[in-house]
Structure 1
Amino acid sequence: MSDHSERAREPLQRAERAVRILDVAADLLARHGYRRVTMDDVAAQAGIGKGTVYLHWKTREQLFGAVFARELLRATDDLQQAIEQDPRTCLLHNFARAYYLAIVDRPLLRGLLLGDPHLLGKLTDSPDAARNDRHTAMAHDYLALLAEHGLLRDDLSMGEIAYAYQATFEGFLRAEGPTSTGGPEQHAELLARTVRRAFENEETPDLPLHALATATATLLGDLIDADRAASHLP
């Protein structure tokens, strides 16, 4: 192979190696938690030298932060795709169902959103404030879209709906577990019914949802782009 071809492959090889490191780190974190996983563990499991890991991430916190950022990106992407496939997903109760299912089978992401100290370790004390601000702004813009289309109850303020919806969603996530009755699909459906009765108009306006779905998918796409740019993921 020529020197030119070898140099051309270097970025691809670097990206593939980074993905491998993230996959290994995610697996170790899910099994052992933050405090019990070292860079040595990640390197050994990935079959590379520890110095190679440091070529990609300078600290353990940066590496594990990238793992959680990737999980969040994947779930947000799943949600965007669900809306693109079925415009009705843009309605709040369907949105809640789709996002719940995107999270519940990702234990690392569930731990991130619920602030699990076993999984997060030091990251609990240093949350990504910029990312949190982006997600809060997106949620506000999404609820504003729904309100403009007459899809939310009007006897609660936007702030009240945002707070109560978040508390409801997180409550369902916290309750999910091996001892809970039913399964994720049933719980997601129950969440959807709860959200619909609590926060949406009793009579949903008869309106075409294509424009609203497109606007919602665009909000999610912008959020994905911003998160990906900030995380420097491969």
Structure 2
Amino acid sequence: MSASTERVRDARGRAERARLILDVAADLLARHGYRRVTIDDVAAGANIGKGTVYLHWKTREQLFGAVFEREVRYALDELRQALRQDPRGCLLHRFARAYFLAITRRPLLRGFLLADPGLLGKLAASRGAALDGRHRAMARDYFRLLTEHGLLRDDMDADELGYAYQATFEGFLRADDGVPAEGLERRADLLARTVQRAFENGPAPGDGTLPGLADSVVALLSDLIDDGRDESGVPPA
């Protein structure tokens, strides 16, 4: 066997092992919560040594931060698939509705986002500011595209619109803590109506202008998903 073949096999094995660790950690976090899960628990669940986990992530916070990032990527990929199927999903109120449901239908991601304020801070600190920076850059580019197509109100600048929208979206997420699954669709509809009335500018354009815009938004999401791969090299599903 050649050295290059051996390296490929080693890389593949490392990625599969990292994926297993993330799967086990995600399952344990969903069942027991962040505060009760340890690296020992994850290692035992994956049937590997504790030291093997540390080959991929140096701290508990880094591992759980990677789980969080992967959950975010799954939600973003759901948005991307929806846009490929229906270009109207690039409109802000539809985008907000789809993202809201993509988050709230994932108990683990919803739990991360609705946890005590210090939790996400710890996870973010362990992973650096890159993730947050990438999301902010993507949001700015998305709002810029909407503005260029005349789809947002013109009496607020892009930073003001972005801040107000983010506050609205996060407010809906936090207000839904404990809402049963059957009520999420109604809350998503209410969010969409709120966003449409507060931030959009008049009627939606004809369908002929939306496919190109949707393609641009898909490209932004794809870049964010690809850039957000965790350091173990595990690709998004």
Query: TM-score by structure 2 length?
Result: 0.86
**Distance (Å, rounded) in 1 between the aligned partners of 2:192 and 2:179:** 21
Q: For each residue in 1:43-63, what CA deviation from the matched residue of structure 2 results, as whole angstroms up to 9, or x when unmatched? A: 112222222222322222221
Is contact 1:73-1:227 (8 Å) kept? Answer: yes
Give the distance between the partners of 1:198 and 1:51, measured in 2 at CA: 52
Q: 1:117, 1:124 within 8 Å by CA — same for their partners in 2? A: no
Structure-2 residue corresponding to 1:197: 197
Compared CA separation, residues 46 and 175, structure 1 to 2 (3 A): same
Moved more, 224-233 or 171-180: 224-233
**Whole-Å Cα distance in 1 between the matches of residues 118 and 179 of structure 2?**
20
CA contact (8 A) 1:30 1:107 kept: yes
1:21-53 per-residue CA deviation (whole Å, 9 max, x = no partner) reads: 111111222233333211111111222222222
1:95 and 2:102 correspond: no
The CA distance in 1 between the partners of 2:202 and 2:191, in whole Å, is 16
> How is 1:1-234 mapped onto 2 (pairs within 5 angstroms)?
7=6, 9-114=9-114, 116-117=116-117, 120=120, 122-123=122-123, 126=126, 128-179=128-179, 183-206=183-206, 208-228=209-229, 232-234=233-235
How far the C-alpha of 1:202 sits from its partner, in A, is: 2.6
- Matched to 1:222, the amino acid is D
Gaps of 5+ in 1: none
1:116-152 per-position Cα deviation (integer Å, ceiling 9, x unaligned): 3585583265563111111111101111111111111
Whether the 8 Å CA contact 1:29–1:119 is kept in 2: the answer is no
Per-residue deviation, 1:81: 1.2
Question: 2: CA distance between counterparts of 1:118 and 1:34?
Answer: 12
Runs of 5+ consecutive residues of structure 2 not aligned to the other structure: none
Separation of aligned partners in 2, 1:117 and 1:26: 20
Using the TM superposition, name which of 199-208 and 219-228 deviates more. Answer: 199-208
Tell me whether 170-179 or 74-83 shows the greater mean CA deviation: 170-179
Of stretches 179-188 and 62-71 in structure 1, the one that deviates more from structure 2 is 179-188
Confirm or deny: 8 A CA contact 2:18 2:232 kept in the other structure.
Answer: no
CA contact (8 A) 1:93 1:193 kept: yes
Contact 1:69-1:231 at 8 Å conserved across structures: no
SS in 1 for 2:48: coil
Whole-angstrom distance in 1 between the partners of 2:140 and 2:174: 23
Q: Which moved more, 1:219-228 or 1:198-207?
A: 198-207
Alignment identity in percent?
Answer: 65
Judge conservation of contact 1:80–1:217 (CA < 8 Å) in 2: yes
Change (3 A) 1:18 1:148: same
Q: Distance in 2 between matches of 1:127 and 1:114?
A: 19
2:228 maps to amino acid: D
Moved more, 116-125 or 104-113: 116-125
